[in-house]
Amino acid sequence: METVARRLGVSRSTVSRLISLARDEGLVRISLHPPTENSDSLSARLSEVFGIAAHVVPVSPTSTDVRRLDAVATVAGAIISDLVEPGHTIGVAWGTTISAVTDHLSPRPAPGSIVVQLNGAANSTTTGIPYAGQIIDSFGKAFGATVRHFPVPAFFDFAETREAMWRERSLAAVRELQQTTDIAVFGVGSFNSPLASHVYVGGYLSPDDIAVLRAEGVVGDICTVLLRPDGSYEDIEINRRATGPTPDELKKIPRRICVVAGSSKVLPLHGALMSGAVTDLIIDEAAAWKLLDLTNGQRKRADRYQRNGH
């Protein structure tokens, strides 16, 4: 109060009365929170548990989902911009979170760099070019990079069609570029996110598809490859028709940056981490805590299972 009084040029008692009035009218709310671990310490714990480089973004518990996403995207934009060097190839998977990241990239000329789209974006009603193209082009503009789009559906109707298309020279050239990527950037799609993942609301999967996937234990995706919480994906039929890189293919890329905002994405994120697809994680504080709680709970259940002689 003394500092405020000095700044405003009034008495301390006047400041006290103003604060009391503001509280009574609901303009000011004073609350106490239990002490929490700072984000650096939490980042270190995530790094140790999952063997990754983790960056935890402090976000107020009262923040809206939109503000939480913006806070994470701001940090992600800065980190990604610092990593890009001349001659790098940057693979980008489209999605709601990565779209937000494009607003916070720091322009940094990287001569000779290339930005390549990692997963197809077309579906039965749209080419996907306006949405995915804007994301890829924004990355290209930020770094002065050449842009290579991937003009295929997010999911082919038939696995046989994908196999035939992969033999086409024009697509093979893009896929070869994807496989020589230096940095991959992607988010996590979730069935249950308040900020709906584009792949689940953009006409890429029918309600029947989603019902089948839920029955198979699928909780979300990375790069439009569907995952279970344990990281398994190989036996999910729709993945035979997906055009994004699988976790095993992603693992060949040196830096794989996953950007996550919101606790609803923790289950599919756990799957991504268990699959080995992630080297760098940028995540908000609440989601980071939930991820640790989930991991600790699974370990306790596994310990009980072993103690019971199984």
84 plus 1 within the same structural domain:
no
What CATH number does the domain containing 226 carry?
3.40.50.1360
Q: In whole angstroms, what is the distance from residue 106 CA to residue 217 CA? A: 39
pLDDT at 60: 87
Q: Let me know whether 159 and 17 are in one domain.
A: no
Verify that 206 and 85 share a domain, yes or no. yes
* Average pLDDT of span 118-123: 92
Same domain, 21 and 49: no
| Confidence category of residue 309, pLDDT binned at 50, 70, 90 | low
Same-domain check for residues 239 and 185: yes
**Average pLDDT, integer, range 248-276:** 97
Tokens found for residue 231: 């990281």
The answer to whether residue 199 sits within a structural domain is: yes
Which of 23-37, 57-71, 164-178, 219-233 bottoms out in mean pLDDT, i.e. has the lowest? Answer: 23-37
How many C-beta atoms surround the C-beta of residue 219 within 10 A?
A: 23
Identify whether residues 71 and 186 lie together within a single domain: yes
CA atoms lying within 13 Å on the CB side of residue 251: 9
88, two tokens: 């790098």
Q: State which H helix or E strand residue 176 sits in.
A: helix 169-179
Q: At what angle do helices 39-50 and 285-307 cross, to 10 degrees?
A: 40
Q: Does residue 35 lie within any of the structural domains?
A: no
Do residues 143 and 279 share a domain? yes
| Higher per-residue confidence, 85 vs 198 | 85
Average pLDDT for residues 266-275, to the nearest whole number? 97
β 255-260/225-227 pair status: unpaired
Q: What is the rounded average pLDDT of the residues 235-251?
A: 96
Query: What is the structure's pLDDT at 196?
Result: 66
**Top-confidence residue, 6 or 184:** 184
| pLDDT at 215 > cutoff 80 | yes
Kindly report the average pLDDT of the chain as a whole number.
Answer: 89
Instruction: Examine the pLDDT at 310 and tell me if it is beyond 70.
Output: no
Whole-number pLDDT of residue 33: 45
Closest-CA residue to 268 (of 227, 224, 217): 227
Q: Is the pLDDT of residue 306 over 60?
A: no
- Pair 13, 156 in one domain: no
297/154: higher pLDDT: 154
Q: What's the structural domain count of the chain?
A: 2
More confident residue, 93 or 1: 93
- Residue 9: which domain range? 1-30
Helix (H) or strand (E) holding 92: strand 89-92
Q: Are residues 127 and 251 in the same domain?
A: yes
Query: What digits encode the pLDDT tens for the residues 169-207?
Result: 999 999 999 999 999 999 999 987 777 677 887 788 888
Residue 111: band (very low, low, confident or very high) from pLDDT cuts 50, 70, 90? very high
Half-sphere exposure at residue 266, Cβ-oriented, CA atoms within 13 angstroms: 16
8 A C-beta contact, residue 211 and residue 133: no
Which phi and psi (to 5°) does residue 68 adopt? -60, -45
Q: Is residue 105 part of a domain?
A: yes
Same domain, 135 and 7: no
> Residue 232's pLDDT band (boundaries 50, 70, 90)?
very high
Q: Within this chain, do residues 10 and 147 fall inside the same structural domain, yes or no?
A: no
Residue 20 belongs to some domain of the structure: yes
Domain check: are 8 and 107 in the same one? Answer: no
Alpha-carbon dihedral 39, 284, 214, 135, rounded to 10 degrees: -140
SS3 17: helix
Q: Which of 197, 202, 143, 146 is nearest to 174 (CA)?
A: 146
Say if pTM beats, i.e. exceeds, 0.85: no
Read off the tokens for 305.
């299972």
Helix (H, G, I), strand (E, B) or coil at 282: strand
Tokens of 253: 């890329």
